[in-house]
Amino acid sequence: MDPIKIEGTPKTPTVNFDGEKGKIEIKGRSIPENSIEFYKPLVDWLEEYMKSPTEMTEVDIQLEYFNTSSSKCILDVFKKLEAMYKGGNEVVINWHYEEDDEDMLEAGEDYQSIIKIPFKMMEIED
Amino acid sequence: MSFDLDKWVAENSKGNIVFSFKGELSETMLTDLLQIVEDKLEDIDFSRKVKKKVYNVAIESLQNLFHHSDAIFLNGTKKKTAKYSVMFIKQDNEGFKVTTGNFVTEEKTVFLKKHIEKINSYNRDELKMMYKDILNNQSFSKKGGGGLGLVDIARKSESKIKYNFYSHKNSVSFFDFSIEIKQ
């Protein structure tokens, strides 16, 4: 399946979804007014990918800012990954946060407690 | 008597204003305003951690104004009605204060009062639970959902929301909202 490559903007993140390598990456900022519009193609892609995923799917989330309308969409992405994980596929989510950004760490922990997939909290050092 | 917007703006414009906006928001304006807020904060010598919280609060606040304001009739303007809104960011030695004002219908007033009272009565852990509950269990629309933005603002600022409703006319009230983000 075709990968997704989206360049980041001041309001939307850089997205790299590579089905062959099993690499999923969302980086930057996610603060659009209409997050559903931005995330719908990503969730649809995962829906397709989960039919025959690679043995191991590695997810990297590195967000500087995200708004609450994106928070629901990010949860939708994680729910697709959770379904894959429950189906016996290996999935790991690396949640990157800036040193001292306790809010971003806490946001990751919130997801970790909702989604039953192994999370790794990774501090980005200056 | 209808609400005196000019008076409210004058009273709230006192102090060290870092950023202010008055008018009707459009999507492109919102993008530009967020950039301005970010640039202004960048120039201020204050802890990065606090400034990041302020920017987060500004994002949610401006998007709330954009999505949830109701139109009122404005005298002396070309347009008959406008979704007029106001936002101020002020700074003092201890930190920042974000104030917003917009017009909302009776129905929203009822929801907002109940929602804010609940948020203000909760401690840190209870707010975390509330946030996760809304995030995981409620459906979202294009405009967002379930008042998650206000819960997020309260969590990040770690302070109580101050608010007031002033009745305007035709069952529309002015929603005065402010929150402090301190060191």
Domain count, chain A: 1
Chain B residues in contact with A75 (beta carbon < 8 A): 135-136
| Chain B nearest-CA residue for A73 | B140
Task: Compare all CA atoms of chain B with the CA of A74 and give the residue at the minimum distance.
Answer: B135
**Number of domain units in chain B:** 1
Mean pLDDT of all residues in chain A? 95
Average of per-residue pLDDT across A43-51: 96
Minimal CA–CA distance to A78: which of A24, A8, A13?
Answer: A24
CA distance B169 to B111: 19
| Nearest residue, CB atoms, A34 vs list B131, B142, B148 | B142
- Average confidence (pLDDT) over B37-58: 95
Per the CB < 8 A criterion, the answer to whether B103 and B70 are in contact is yes
- The shortest CB-CB distance from B30 to any of A33, A36, A69 is to A33
Kindly report the CATH number assigned to the domain that includes residue A70: 3.30.750
Q: Quick one: pLDDT at residue B169?
A: 81
Paired residues of B153 in beta bridges: none
CB B116 within 8 A of CB B150: yes
Please give the residue range of the domain that contains residue A10. Answer: 4-124
User: Which chain B residues are within 8 Å of A67, Cβ to Cβ?
Assistant: 59-60, 63, 149
Question: What is the residue range of B111's domain?
Answer: 5-182
Residues of A in contact with B27 (CB under 8 A): 33
CATH code assigned at B101? 3.30.565.10
* Dist CA A118 CA A90 (whole Å): 9
Fill in the DSSP letter of residue B171. Answer: T
Q: What ipTM did this prediction achieve?
A: 0.94
Please answer whether residues A95 and A122 qualify as being in contact, where contact means their C-beta atoms are separated by less than 8 angstroms.
yes
A14-25, pLDDT tens digit by residue? Answer: 999 999 999 999
CA angle B134, B138, B141 (to 5 degrees): 110
The one-letter code for the residue type at B109 is T
Q: Which pLDDT tens digit goes with each residue over B108-157?
A: 999 999 999 999 999 999 999 999 999 998 777 766 667 899 999 999 99
